[in-house]
Structure 1
């Protein structure tokens, strides 16, 4: 491509760059929100990024690849609990932000349903943690978080402690197997009391009710969970077997309430879109009436048959949508604008404000993203600003209140040099919005952030290496020298190196030193030794954890390397395909791009990373320290009897979920598609197959029922063709 080229593969270069930037932002936001329980952007900002991604992919369909955030649900599961497969995929919801969005959704639903899709069920969108409960023969068998939609964290022991969640269903006609979906939350008043108790105990309070619910449900000790005021409300089902199947969402709620499950009494079934809008407007005005935090309304088509006809996209049902309320706003004083340096060198301005309570928590900091955003918002240091906090996550400054200016305000000037290492800042490439510190190898801030990230749960998962410890290792008090100058030093650490280290305690969000309110001086900690100069429990734990971390799976090792665009999902794809760090390091760009879920853009980034000498030094130093660099060989594939064939699965198959049926086909080499076309080899149709059955008939696609599906799996496609329902017979 010449330097004057404006398109690549028919897509404008500017669109490619923006898509890459948004993808990184969305994946990072999901990771921090769902896994770390430490959200760094508002719901509103995330929604804006996601909408822009969708718009880019609609304008340029080639950007919609399997590794795009728009094709994924939720986020990776944590590393603290056993992993379980959901019986049916847990999807996300598309969002509406105004009446026009709602009308557009309803119009599309009416077109796809070929008629009025109503009535509609409206319910409040609780700002909590999604959960799936499995009851077998009426007994609670399992509770799991949503995770990435297919795999979640097994939190059964903690779920059993939630008040109102029955351990056994009651009543007649209980399904032999039912998967119930709902939201775990902490009531607002209970949240306030909980935070007061934590403060009295000298512990940090939770940022908001959602984080408190998520943190409580992920406690390793269920006795702690039992002491917290968790509650749950049910809002749907994934699987229902062995009992009379309800015909509508509202019927499900009636049945679940009869079984003893907690169901909200605030939902309403309305006949048309006017009723939907009236419900939305009522709770816009009465947002704080419920006992729990809400951030909108969920609208569902009530009839299950219509739901099946509409189906889903790759991540969200077409029969439901979330109407998001505007985030809450307050005014406060902008005292200063400072900058922080992240693990990729990105230098980010952030606002320092007079403390203000918004959405139930006190706020002093807000990100400003980059200098261009500061300029675009038109804010000056000293302004009174409008602060918006959406969904109780990290806030953002909306705009200045210019009518309140008195002339003392001053303009923010972006620094030209890194505030931590003094290196001149630069854009990585032309057109970038973010300045970065190019001193990737030696910048203390970047090293600190990378070490802290590498120790995270989805990477090396090292207990004892939190933010304070990472700071102590990389930025001890002078005249001490850092014992960790790059990631390469990490696995060579010894107790002797740790003992003398003292460090300034820094704020995790800003990286600035914390001040002791009694002395007015910086807080200093001797983190790795006790008052007798002996190794502390933290020091011994860290050394033990480093030894254990040498055996983490390859995917976690890849995440720990901080390769741009290689988060947990991409790392898992790479590890499954390549099996060793050497195979990845020595693969060509084309070979990397051929890995499912990777693509050319990420492949180029991976190749570039491994071509840097000091990056390879990290690998070799870790290898020399005994870090495992490969996974066990992949299990041998069974006979690929369905290779080259394409299938669509619809309806309810006895003995299979939709996902397990698809996996059975894929394991034999078959390709599973979401919609029927002339290229479909077979439609696998269970009960209540819906519109896909009709389309297969119209296109002449052979149809297999449950018995025919078993013939296909056991005897192959030729035998299945003999028992398939021919379109003319359907």
Structure 2
């Protein structure tokens, strides 16, 4: 027998749920569902109450704006109720314009019918996602501030609002009304929210869930000193009681007046006429939504003329002359059905939540990133959990909160698996790193595709024509396991690979035409690969995909060492002397070359004909920096026990001896006297030079630095590169070479190529159609070389 549906029971259940969520949001500042889910509950209740009026009740949440506050604040009765707005919802962004804007069209139609104005004018503004407040000014001075509360009564948060720098304590000018009640929104800018959470994490403090909760919770702290530490902002959007001054005729004029009084108003506030104007504004702000510095969940339309507002009047809990038009929710709740590991190009193991499909911001989301194991532990995400998922613009969806109250029995804490799900290699985590990584290196199929794609990319080895689809097929059909295998491919391999890919995809083979093999494309690819066998050192380094090594760092390493072998064998102590290289980068480079498998791949590349064609002597200024004082300071930066011994002390102590051996074996008292440092500092250095871990590295680095000094080109007399330390700017088009080639040649001579002209620019190379950079160089009196002079410069320096 089917169960009978009782609308009265459902109405009471909905009221109980909504009251609980109001309490959690407005009093505890700890909501457990996203706004979109709360809105659905409220809409269902409104619909049921409309269908079954016998269940109407004055204490229904549909008759309230919010909820009464906590007991720690005095209560404030609003002279004019702070009502909420009727909503036009569009959760899916589906359908044509007539469907998408139906409720907005009905809103405009009601206004036209009531006022007789065929093209009504509206004041339009973003709907900020913060906390509504009221500010009372008497004779221009701020005297009281209150939250909206339930619309009739709010909380007195005057002391807290005084800490918000955006709220003036005294209005500008002198022509103030005797009483002015300003209504607006306290909110938190996204950048301020992120910065606050970063500081909180660094200090081991509690973070804020999101900017909206951060604003509400910060303003309702019982201690104003806590509120003062929170980065709160404010925008005014209207007025309540005004005594002693007549308002302008238009709401938009009132907003401008508030600006003149020193109250901030959103710069996105505008006016629009008729339905077409509202639709255009909705779309314009929607396109800007992710770029705005603050969160919004919709836009608000208000009749601009106050006489028409009075003519329209009010319904039970909202003005009939205003409407909030929401965008598709950026947060929704769903269920975690599994947690998988995704392996990236660098081997990073990223946990990904597999979700029960849910529409978020107009897109069906089935996966969301969990960032790393620390984030999972912080959120305590478990398979089976109900979670809140957020998606903003093109940002990858992420899990932002677990709804613990809905956790199923038996849900187990999640732990990082021991092995890579792709190649079964061990997952490892370096000290100080948030991410786990697959140790399979280039053997891991998940990393192969990305590693080969990166190796062949334009900024790396630049293998023309070898696009993503070819790379995926080459790896999938096992023609390529490492980048070195590219240089063993023949025309027949490409043709066979393409045929297999066509068969897999069920497409008509394109490799056979009129009985003849069409191999020209394959011949071109083999030729393109062959053309990259003569490699430039910085491009080759970048192509290897070493973690944290971008183009500029690869160039800096190439300039400093001049030779691949020197870089591959360098200790981080030496690498730290290279511009662009810090401790993490230095350790990453050394760790890459410490892996035997990476050397196997590199050896295979060289065995198959790859040659680095620009080998040269080490950079003289780099080598000069590698004295023993620098090596000691580098060891300290990498964690050596030299607390309390600063750079100047290390320099003085290093100069007191002829080398590390003399320093280690010398007399502490004598060395202290010679260096002018304390015996304790000298002994700290001597202990380091006897340490079983650090001593071999420091002595080896000392020897390597001496070898680098001996490797400086004798013909150059140990001099710097010709353009060492000089900044050059390129502008216009060169007929003899592209901009990248010109930049590379300048950098090979030691120059730094900048994007803008300043007083520090050494000279400007100006080609055809040079623009403002040339004008600025001439106005500053900076030397300008045309293309002919530039080519002469290059020829002069070989």
Q: TM-score, normalised by structure 2?
A: 0.42
> Which structure: greater helix fraction?
2
Q: TM-score, normalised by structure 1?
A: 0.46
